[in-house]
Structure 1
Amino acid sequence: MQKNILLIGGSYGIGAAIADNLKKDHNVIIASRSNENIPKVIKHHSFDALTDDISKLDLPEKIDGLVYCPGSINLKPFKMMSPETFHEDMELNFHSLVRIVHGLLPKLKNAEQASIVFFSTVAVKVGMPFHTSVAASKGAIEGFAKALAAEYAPNFRVNVIAPSLTDSPLASKLLNNDAKKEKMAERHPLKKVGATKDIAAMASFLLNDESKWITGQVFGVDGGLSTLNVN
């Protein structure tokens, strides 16, 4: 059955890979600041998650799937992170997500059983130096997702994907040469850095009916980093 799938941010990186997976079988809609590289078969709305009101967009009355893709990777020693930096990261990663979900509640409720997918980070489960801000804001997402899943079951499902470092534009500064990529790959039990298609495959699964008995979960798609110690 064709579904209406809304991606908040989806013009590049993981969001674009999810859209590519789903565009053949579903009605994919992207709301993002940029419309570069978006196929014509996908409906695009100009939208800034930090400032715009999602309820003002001309969207279908029924949203079967929602993915929130915007995020930040702000890796610095805590002593170099101002309280304002924490506020900015929380605003993009969490508060904007909450506003969008709240604004879409009527359309999500119109679906037979909507599926919502958020993104966290392996650094919430595994304490890592220099990750204080991103771990704090993504940790808020994990707690919110579980509570939301409980409150709205069985009307819709809510799950979270917690990747490790993924080779995407968001992480370009951390993976901008072969030496960095090799060093980062060696940290993972599977000895590779994640690709956008690895994360998109899990998101696509969670949006489709094959996952209809899964909700309130955090999935580590992280090359084994969060659970295995093989070094």
Structure 2
Amino acid sequence: MKKDWMIWLCCTLLFLAGVTWGRIWLKTDFFAVSDIHDLFEIFSSAATVIAVIFAAYSVNNWRSQIKVQADHELARKLAVSLLKYKDSIQIAHSDAQFCVNHSIIGFEGLPPDLLMDVADGFVVRMKESTDQRAELLGVLLEVRALWGDDLPNSLDALFNTCNEFHKCVRLFAVASRPSAKFEVQESYKTKIIEIGEEYVRKGWEEGKVRFMANELSQRAEELIQAKLLS
């Protein structure tokens, strides 16, 4: 729409310029060149004007190409970082679901040492997921600077959900310790079960995690695709 408006404006200005020049009576010798040097100067001036026009066009075209390349590179970085983070969310959900299930049936089904090893493995994966989130947030900082706040804000629900999964892991890591008091274990198990019930109520069930993650990141995926195809 803006481009059409500019075209009509240019056409109108050209028409008015034609009307203005048409009303000017020029002497018959106006276009006569008295000296060959004057003719060369005219050609030289015309060539300079044309060169300036082409230079301005080239600069604008170069700027457009640089912007497209920068957008393309940022979109590629965002696509890779977002994919890795969604993979980590799937792992975080599996770990959280293990914590919920064993909080329901109790910790007696596994030997204490094995339970601690499992919990420690969950904590290691939680830290890896936190690193993936930090990487994604770094890319989103560039996105916010270049493309605005819309896309970064659209991923808040995805981050919040992963935080709930990690909360289950943190509580489980404390409650599963042999040194944990009975009251602490029971309180933490109750909290883990409540968190599990809440995220299942929102649709985060086994087999639907990737679908849910894709739903929450749809706005980002659409923008990435648009930038990569531009």
Q: Fold match, TM over 0.5?
A: no
Could you state the TM-score of these two structures normalised by the residue count of structure 2? Answer: 0.29
- Structure number with larger C-alpha Rg: 2
**More helix, by proportion:** 2
Could you state the TM-score of these two structures normalised by the residue count of structure 1? Answer: 0.29
**More strand, by proportion:** 1
